[in-house]
């Protein structure tokens, strides 16, 4: 998406900082780095030496001398150039592959472990685009980088080559640089926004096309093919306009490159002419200069044309380094960790207040919530949409910290504030299944063992049995080897939720937080899920956001929330007898559904 | 659509293809003449010290580059413009074809169809440039041949045979390289997919504490990708090395032979420079030709896939969630204007009933999986012209469905930024606003909490009263209790009709609607 970055977006590193990180990452492979640099220099030297020797051949034949020694030299240089060029290519790409792998692993590592506060503020979209698009862009630029490195070294060494012929020829060659600089100065500021606009409209177009394909059934049902077709056409037409605008600018830029070549060649010929007339250099030297310049068209073109791509890769790198540089989560105090209960864990919530909007005076979503869930008991949270149930569950589950108030884990050995533990320690104690479910791509076994690496098939099957999923899994053609996830075998939302619950069973934390795990499952699916949830809750300390009141009734106690506060609290029967909010909810929900 | 889709593309852009071909040929000719110009300038001006000649040489070089640059840029501009236009034309045609008849997708997954609509249309359009550059590459080769043969027949023939042979020989290495490069792209893609998958599931992943294992899995995928990149680097280096060696060998051999000829007086110095320059230039058009030939195969394959999707009467398969044109009569007759509840004891029957209603002319069946189209709520609610004499104000539809009312609300990726419940309510509002005589809704409130569901049930009832017939295929007691009539399609084809309250005594019914 285009536009200004949202408040709280992830940081972007400066170019200087990125260069430093890139260099340090490369320097971590000193042997590769040294080899890549030395072979590149040697291969470029060979590329420059060939036309110089050819120029000397002109002098030799004009003088009527024997060519043999020169042909031998030429052959040796050609052979060595071929060898070093091959090695340079290999070494540079190897180094690039190592650097790219190091960087992307660090980026993914940091992203997955990012502090919840940063993640929630930045939004998962920004993180995802860095981990996917930017990483891919940077990884793919390795080959480009190897080519640019070679071209750069060749151009630099050519200057030395021209100097070896005559300093005035070198000066004549340098005429091209102001021309290139001027055209880049004209082009780059225009190109950036044009390509950005092109990419942005192209992304919108893909979006519209993808929506149309996904929604083909909907479009057909409504008979709105023309309307949606017009939308696709309009989005596609916008990309044509943007591409043409970018094309016009690029065409002018490429003409100026030819201009620089013409100017450079003319300057070399004129200078050479004068120098030969003054008997300062030989005809061969001028020939060498002209041939060398002719051979430079390629590398110079590579440098200029890749300028844009290189700057795009650099921008991606800045965004990657921005993630790499995020502060790591501090390790918890070992004394606190030792005190943190592992079994028979209870929950105590005190004065929990939370506002998503951090400007002072913004209406909080939670107001001074106090709750207790003794070890091994379950508490249901019910209330209308917007009452703060999900926020409460997320904070108690350690998904993100509250604006104010505490969540304490209690145990026989003592109590520990949730905020004093790191993510790893929290997840050993509390498992969360929230509304968002995701089927991880891979085999069903891989999907489930994410929660417990190394679990045996028997353990996996047992977990599936607890959530009532053993039958349909056994009926799959590949059993646990069936590939699931987006683009593979599609699973209904209810089955996806069953898998989420099965992961929790495998993980086996003493505390579970379940939030609306039954939404979107359909009635029959919802009943199965409800039973699965009951099985998961059994024997654990649980906080359950109940979407369906039958689920609430199955819990030991129920907290009714309204406008961010707990307004009723107690067992099902007590609350019904109270005749308050819960009793009304129950009446609405069960209106004649259950013959009593 | 003719069986030769690439020809169709060319035919549609005859003028652009001709202009592009012509100017690109001119450009190639100028490129071939650059070494000639250098040779002439060295021989006639630099070596002689003739001021008149040097002025002429420089003017000639400037003129040559002016023509070269203009022709090249013009060719590039004309061809790319035509390619953009053609890609747009094909893309729009593909999208319209699929939208008019979802069955046009055939057996394709959405991902496949997307790649037809985006990359295949682009590849098909690229035929324009490929054909033009193929022609100009051949022409450049021809110009080089004429220049070389005029200088020296033996040397010219030698080069004209040796260079194409070497270039084509190098192509023989390509499959090995391609396999490695493919491997590199594939593993990089896999690693990216692993990362994207983990990120997409980051909240659930963190919820069950799967992060350490996820990091391990990504590192595995990343190092596989790195190993493949190193393998590809090895293969690339062999190809690069061999081709550098080949060009070097041609250059050295040409220099040796041409130098000997100069010594014997068979060539002058200018011709020596031209021949040596030509020896390195020749590889360019040959490479262009072989690249174009290879890419044309890709382009042709793309054009064929596009043509298949556009061809009417291709083998068809109904979409899973699209109404199939089943000829089964509607199993439940409706009374005009009523709100009818249909309860089934299994999903297959519910699917069949929904499909049967979809075949009724003029019926609107809101697909059970809500897909929102467009960038804003206003877009998502627009579903084309409302039949004459009908129409529900958007505000009323949104109110009835308890949907968000800010029409500027941005919907990203088909509404993934709003909750499932909101998506469902927006879909419902869209169906209500479309205001059809017969509206069929399948499980329209599964993602709603009881209070909201009750509100929606009441709103739905009020809005549809007097507007037309409404069929609710559902098991929600809150919806069913507001129906005029409820039909139970029980096991073994048993039907029962009544009201929600009345049917509760039926054990099958009670089980079906129990929560």
* Mean pLDDT computed over B220-234: 93
Range name among A556-560, B215-219, B376-380, B408-412 with the lowest pLDDT average = B408-412
The reply to whether residue A588 touches residue B454, judged by beta carbons under 8 angstroms, is yes
Lowest mean pLDDT segment, chosen from A278-292, B277-291, B326-340, B478-492: B326-340
B342: in domain: yes
B271 and B394: one domain?
A: no
What residue has token string 């600018």? A249
A216 vs B68, B99, B447: nearest CB? B99
Average pLDDT over residues A298-313: 85
Confidence of residue B2 (pLDDT cuts 50, 70, 90): low
Q: Which one is predicted more confidently, B315 or B293?
A: B293
Number of domains in chain B: 2
pLDDT at A9 over 80: no
Percent of chain B with pLDDT over 70: 94
Task: Nearest chain A residue to B476 by CA: give it.
Answer: A523
Do B77 and B222 lie in a common domain?
yes
Domain final residue, candidates B310, B334, B350: B310
Quote the pLDDT of residue B27. 94
| CB contact (8 A) between residue A93 and residue B230 | yes
A47 in helix, strand or coil? helix
pLDDT score of B316 more than 60:
no
Q: Which tokens belong to B194?
A: 């692993």
* Residues of chain A above pLDDT 70, percent: 94
Q: Which residue from A88, A98, A200 is spatially nearest to A150, judged by alpha carbons?
A: A88
* Least confidently predicted of A113-117, A125-129, A410-414, B98-102: A125-129
Which chain B positions have a beta carbon within 8 Å of A396's beta carbon? none
Residue B203 at interface with chain A, using a CB cutoff of 8 Å: yes
Is the per-residue pLDDT at A122 higher than 90? no
Closest CA to B213 of A486, A473, A506: A506
Distance CA B472, CA B483 (A): 8
Specify the pLDDT at position B490: 83
The answer, yes or no, to whether residue B263 has pLDDT greater than 90, is: no
Give residue B410's domain range: 320-513
* Contacts with A523 from chain B: Cβ below 8 Å: 443, 446, 474-476, 513, 515
Asked if residue B103 belongs to a domain, the reply is yes
- B166 and B274 part of one domain: yes
Instruction: Give pLDDT, residue B3.
Output: 65
The C-alpha of B408 sits at a distance from chain A's nearest C-alpha, in angstroms, of 16
Mean pLDDT of B349-372: 83
pLDDT in tens, B275-291: 888 887 887 888 788 88
Q: In this predicted structure, what is the pLDDT of residue B1?
A: 46
Confidence check: pLDDT of B321 > 60: no
Give the chain B residue whose CA is nearest to the CA of A88: B237
Of the candidates A135, A229, A509, the beta carbon closest to that of B195 is on A135
pLDDT of residue B322: 41
State mean pLDDT over B100-108.
77
pLDDT of amino acid A321 = 94
Do residue B27 and residue B61 come from a single domain?
Answer: yes
Residue B91, CA atoms < 13 Å, CB-side half-sphere: 33
B59, part of any domain: yes
Same domain, yes or no: B83 and B152: yes
Predicted confidence (pLDDT) at residue B357 exceeds the cutoff of 80? yes
The encoded tokens of residue B457 equal: 């049930």
Q: Which helix (H) or strand (E) holds A45?
A: helix A30-63
Cross-chain CB nearest to B371 (options A207, A215, A225): A215
Mean pLDDT (whole number) for A494-507: 91
Q: How many residues does chain B have?
A: 515
Query: A435 pLDDT exceeds 80?
Result: no
Please report which confidence band the pLDDT of residue A429 belongs to, taking 50, 70 and 90 as the band edges. Answer: very high
Q: Are residues B486 and B337 in the same domain?
A: yes
Closest to B222 (Cβ–Cβ): which among A89, A101, A439? A101
In a domain, B315, yes or no: no
Per-residue pLDDT for A596 more than 50?
Answer: no
Q: Are B260 and B338 in the same domain?
A: no
Q: pLDDT at position B228, please?
A: 93
**What does the pLDDT look like over A63-103, one tens digit per residue?**
888 889 999 999 999 999 999 999 999 999 999 999 999 99
Query: Which of A297-311, A434-448, B162-176, B216-230 has the lowest average pLDDT?
Result: B162-176
* Out of B80, B201, B269, closest to residue A58 by CB: B269
pLDDT of residue B156: 87
What is the C-alpha separation between B276 and B253, in angstroms, rounded?
A: 10
Is B229 in Cβ contact with A221 (below 8 Å)? Answer: no
**What separation in angstroms does the CA of B91 have from each of B25, B125, B375?**
30, 10, 20
- State the pLDDT at residue B5: 81
| Domain end residue (candidates: B287, B310, B333) | B310
Least confident of A565-579, B211-225, B285-299, B427-441: B285-299
Q: Where are the alpha helices (DSSP H) in B311-447?
A: 347-358, 377-381, 394-400, 420-434
- CA–CA dist A206, A212 (Å, integer): 10
Same-domain pairing of B324 and B258: no
Q: So what's the pLDDT on residue A272? A: 95
Q: Please report the pLDDT score of residue A487 as a whole number.
A: 67
Find all residues with CB under 8 Å of A443, minimum gap 6, and list them: A478, A480, A481, A482, A483, A484
**What residues have CB less than 8 Å from A63, skipping those under 6 apart?**
none
| Per-residue confidence (pLDDT) for residue B476, from 0 to 100 | 85
Angle among Cα A400, A404, A409 to the nearest 5 degrees reads: 65
DSSP per-residue codes, A481-512? G-EESTTSB---HHHHHHHHHHHHHHH--SEE
Residue A109's pLDDT is what? 93
* Sign of the torsion formed by the C-alpha atoms of B87, B88, B91 and B96: negative
Same domain, B199 and B162: yes
- Kindly list the distances between the CA atom of residue A283 and the CA atoms of B47, B265, B273, B424, in Å, as whole numbers in the listed order: 6, 17, 11, 82
Q: Is B47 on the interface with A (CB under 8 A)?
A: yes
Q: What is the pLDDT of residues A179-230, one digit of tens each?
A: 999 998 998 888 888 888 888 888 888 888 888 887 888 888 888 889 999 9
The CATH number for B508's domain is 3.40.50.300
Asked, for residue B197, whether it belongs to a domain, the answer is: yes
pLDDT above 70 for A591: no
Rounded to whole angstroms, how far apart are CA atoms A136 and A316? 9
**Residue that finishes a domain, picked among B283, B310, B337:** B310
CA A525, CA A540: separation in Å to the nearest integer?
A: 24
CA distance A530 to chain B (A): 10
To the nearest 10 degrees (0 to 180), the angle between helices A283-324 and A176-214 is 40
| CATH code assigned at B196 | 1.20.1560.10
Q: Are residues B295 and B364 in the same domain?
A: no
Provide the percentage of residues in chain B whose pLDDT is more than 90: 32
Per-residue tokens: B278: 């030509």
The residue of chain A with its CA nearest to that of B355 is A221
Residue A400, pLDDT > 50, answer yes
User: Does the residue B252 lie in any domain?
Assistant: yes
Contact B199 A128 (CB under 8 A): yes
CB atoms B515 and A595 under 8 Å? no
Q: How confident is the model at residue A40 (pLDDT cuts 50, 70, 90)?
A: very high
Residue whose structure tokens are 């090695």: A87
Q: What is the secondary structure of B121-178 as a DSSP string?
A: HHHHHHHHHHHHHHHHHHHHHHHHHHHHHHH-HHHHHHHHHHHHHHHHHHHTTHHHHH
Mean pLDDT comparison of A32-41, A492-501, B104-113, highest-scoring range:
A32-41
Taking only the tens place, the pLDDT of each residue in A325-366 is 988 888 888 888 888 888 889 999 999 999 877 667 777 889
What is the average pLDDT score of chain A? Answer: 88
The answer to whether B467 and B426 have CB atoms below 8 angstroms apart is: no
Does B39 fall in a domain? Answer: yes
Asked whether residue B390 is assigned to any structural domain, the reply reads: yes
Statement to judge: residues B396 and B489 lie in one domain = yes
Beta carbons within 10 angstroms of residue B494's beta carbon: 11
Per-chain mean pLDDT for chain B: 85
| Residue A1 pLDDT > 50 | no
DSSP B373: -
Which of B277, B412, B504 lies closest to A595 in CB terms? Answer: B504
Q: Is the pLDDT reported for residue A370 higher than 70?
A: yes
Q: Is residue B29 located within the same domain as residue B127?
A: yes
Task: State whether B515 and A590 contact (CB < 8 Å).
Answer: yes
């Amino acid at each position: 998406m285009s536009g200004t970055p949202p408040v709280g977006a992830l940081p972007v590193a400066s170019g200087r900082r990125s260069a430093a990180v890139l260099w340090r990452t490369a320097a971590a492979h000193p042997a590769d780095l040294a080899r890549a640099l030395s072979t590149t220099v040697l291969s470029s030297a060979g590329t420059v030496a060939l036309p110089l020797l050819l120029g000397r051949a002109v002098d030799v034949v004009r003088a009527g001398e024997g060519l043999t020694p020169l042909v031998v030299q030429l052959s040796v240089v050609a052979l060595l150039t071929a060898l070093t060029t091959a090695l340079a290519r290999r070494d540079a790409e190897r180094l690039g592959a190592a650097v790219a792998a190091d960087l992307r692993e660090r980026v993914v590592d940091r992203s997955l472990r990012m502090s919840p506060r940063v993640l929630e503020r930045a939004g998962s979209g920004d993180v995802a685009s860095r981990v996917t698009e930017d990483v891919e862009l940077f990884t793919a630029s390795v080959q480009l980088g190897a080519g640019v490195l070679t071209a750069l070294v060749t151009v630099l060494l050519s200057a030395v080559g021209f100097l070896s012929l005559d300093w005035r020829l070198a000066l004549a060659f340098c005429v091209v640089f102001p021309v290139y600089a001027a055209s880049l100065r004209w082009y780059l500021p225009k190109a950036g926004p044009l390509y950005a606009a092109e990419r942005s409209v192209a992304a919108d177009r893909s979006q519209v096309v993808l929506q149309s394909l996904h929604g083909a059934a909907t479009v057909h049902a409504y008979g709105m093919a023309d309307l949606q077709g017009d939308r696709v056409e309009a989005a596609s037409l916008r990309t044509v306009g943007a591409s043409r605008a970018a094309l016009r600018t690029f065409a002018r830029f490429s003409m100026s490159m030819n201009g620089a070549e013409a100017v450079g060649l003319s300057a070399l010929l004129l200078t050479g002419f004068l120098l030969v007339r003054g008997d300062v250099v030989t005809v061969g030297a001028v020939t060498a200069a002209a041939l060398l310049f002719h051979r430079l068209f390629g590398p110079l073109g590579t440098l200029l044309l890749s300028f844009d791509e290189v700057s795009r890769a650099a921008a991606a790198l800045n965004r990657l380094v921005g993630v790499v540089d995020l502060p790591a989560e501090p390790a918890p105090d070992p004394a606190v960790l030792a005190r943190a209960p592992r079994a028979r864990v209870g929950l105590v919530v005190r004065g929990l207040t939370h506002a998503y909007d951090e400007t002072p005076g913004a209406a909080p979503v939670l107001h001074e919530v106090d709750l207790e869930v003794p070890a091994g008991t379950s508490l249901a949270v019910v209330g209308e949409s917007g009452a703060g149930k999900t926020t409460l569950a997320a904070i108690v589950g350690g998904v993100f910290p509250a604006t104010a108030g505490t969540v304490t884990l209690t145990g026989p050995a003592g109590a520990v504030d949730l905020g004093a533990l790191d993510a790893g320690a929290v997840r050993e104690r509390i498992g969360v299944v929230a509304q968002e479910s995701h089927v991880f791509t891979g085999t069903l076994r891989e999907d489930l063992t994410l929660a417990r690496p190394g679990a045996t098939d028997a353990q996996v099957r047992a977990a599936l049995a607890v959530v009532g999923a053993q039958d349909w899994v056994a009926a799959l053609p590949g059993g646990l080897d069936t590939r699931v996830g987006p683009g593979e075998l599609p699973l209904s939302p209810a089955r996806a939720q069953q898998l989420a619950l099965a992961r929790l069973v495998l993980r086996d934390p003493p505390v579970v937080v379940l939030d609306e795990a039954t939404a979107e499952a359909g009635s029959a699916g919802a009943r199965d899920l409800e039973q699965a949830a009951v099985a998961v809750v059994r024997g654990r300390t649980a906080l359950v956001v109940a979407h369906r009141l039958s689920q609430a009734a199955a819990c030991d106690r129920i907290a009714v929330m309204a406008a961010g506060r707990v307004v009723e609290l107690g067992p099902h029967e007590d609350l019904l007898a109270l005749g308050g909010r819960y009793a009304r909810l129950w009446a609405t929900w069960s209106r004649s559904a259950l013959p009593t | 659509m003719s069986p030769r889709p690439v020809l169709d593309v060319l035919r549609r852009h005859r003028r652009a293809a001709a202009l592009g071909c012509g100017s690109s040929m001119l450009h190639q000719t100028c490129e071939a003449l650059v070494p000639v110009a250098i040779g002439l300038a060295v021989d006639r001006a630099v070596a002689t010290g003739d001021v008149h000649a040097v002025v002429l040489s420089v003017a000639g070089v400037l003129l040559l580059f002016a023509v070269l640059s203009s022709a090249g840029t013009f060719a590039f501009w004309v061809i790319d413009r035509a390619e953009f236009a053609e890609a747009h034309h094909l893309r729009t045609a593909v999208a319209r074809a699929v939208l008019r008849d979802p069955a046009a997708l055939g057996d394709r997954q959405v991902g496949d169809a997307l790649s037809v609509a985006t990359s295949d249309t682009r590849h098909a359009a690229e035929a324009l440039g490929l054909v033009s550059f193929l022609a100009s590459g051949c022409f450049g080769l021809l110009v080089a041949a004429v220049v070389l043969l005029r200088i020296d027949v033996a040397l010219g023939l030698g080069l004209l045979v040796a260079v194409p042979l070497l270039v084509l020989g190098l192509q023989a290495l390509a499959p090995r390289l391609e396999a490695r490069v493919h491997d590199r792209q594939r593993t990089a893609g896999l690693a990216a997919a692993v990362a994207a998958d983990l990120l997409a599931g980051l909240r659930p992943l963190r919820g069950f504490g799967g992060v350490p294992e996820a990091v391990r899995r990504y590192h595995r995928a990343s190092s596989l990708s790195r190993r493949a990149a190193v393998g590809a680097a090895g293969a690339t280096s062999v190809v690069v090395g061999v081709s550098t060696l080949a060009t070097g060998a041609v250059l050295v051999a040409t220099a040796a032979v041409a130098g000997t000829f100069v010594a014997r007086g068979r060539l002058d110095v200018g011709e020596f420079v031209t021949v040596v320059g030509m020896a390195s230039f020749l590889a360019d058009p040959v490479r262009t030709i072989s690249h174009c030939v290879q890419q044309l195969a890709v382009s042709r394959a793309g054009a064929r896939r596009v043509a298949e999707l556009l061809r009417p009467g291709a083998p068809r398969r109904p979409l899973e969630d699209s109404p199939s044109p089943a000829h089964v009569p509607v199993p439940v007759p409706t009374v005009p204007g009523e709100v009818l509840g249909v309860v089934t004891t299994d999903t297959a029957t519910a699917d069949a009933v929904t499909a049967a209603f979809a075949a009724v002319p003029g019926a609107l069946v809101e697909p059970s999986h809500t897909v929102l189209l467009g960038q804003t709520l206003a877009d998502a609610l627009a579903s084309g012209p409302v039949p004459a004499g009908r129409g529900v104000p958007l505000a009323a539809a949104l109110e009835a469905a308890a949907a968000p009312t800010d029409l500027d609300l941005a919907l990203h990726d088909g509404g993934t930024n709003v909750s499932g419940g909101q998506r469902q309510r927006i879909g419902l509002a869209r169906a209500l606003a479309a205001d059809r005589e017969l509206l069929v809704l399948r499980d329209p409130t599964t993602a709603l909490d009881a209070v909201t569901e009750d509100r929606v049930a009441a709103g739905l009832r009020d809005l549809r009263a007097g507007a037309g017939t409404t069929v609710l295929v559902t098991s929600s007691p809150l919806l069913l209790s507001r129906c005029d009539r409820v039909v139970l399609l029980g096991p073994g084809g048993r039907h029962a009709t009544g009201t929600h309250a009345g049917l509760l005594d039926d054990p099958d019914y009670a089980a079906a609607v129990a929560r």
